[in-house]
Amino acid sequence: MASMFTAAFWVATGERTVRTAAQTLIATLGLETTGVLDVDWGQGLALAGSAALLAVLTAISASGTGGPGLTETVRERQ
């Protein structure tokens, strides 16, 4: 089990957090471009920040399950 007090846990959590924020920002601004949503950069960044915070909180709440996510990683199964 991965503990949230290890460097590996926080590296993986950081990677997932950045990826989640980037995906949310790209999706939000893409929907704005197509006219589905009416948002500006500030609103898009706020949504991305909220998604990043939720990614960190999910990782912390799942810290005893084998990784920062709710499933174990391939390396841990080997």
Q: How far apart are CA 10 and CA 15, in angstroms?
A: 8
For 58-75, how does the pLDDT look when each residue is reduced to its tens digit (9 = 90+)? 888 888 766 556 565 545
Could you tell me if residue 27 is inside a domain?
yes
Could you tell me if residue 34 is inside a domain?
yes
Could you tell me if residue 41 is inside a domain?
yes
Domain count, the chain: 1
Contacts of 60 (CB under 8 A, 6+ apart): 4
For 6-26, how does the pLDDT look when each residue is reduced to its tens digit (9 = 90+)? 888 899 899 999 999 999 999
**What residues make up the domain containing 30?**
7-77
Could you tell me if residue 31 is inside a domain?
yes
Could you tell me if residue 12 is inside a domain?
yes
Could you tell me if residue 2 is inside a domain?
no
For 36-54, how does the pLDDT look when each residue is reduced to its tens digit (9 = 90+)? 888 888 999 999 999 999 9
Q: Both tokens of residue 42?
A: 């500030």
Could you tell me if residue 1 is inside a domain?
no
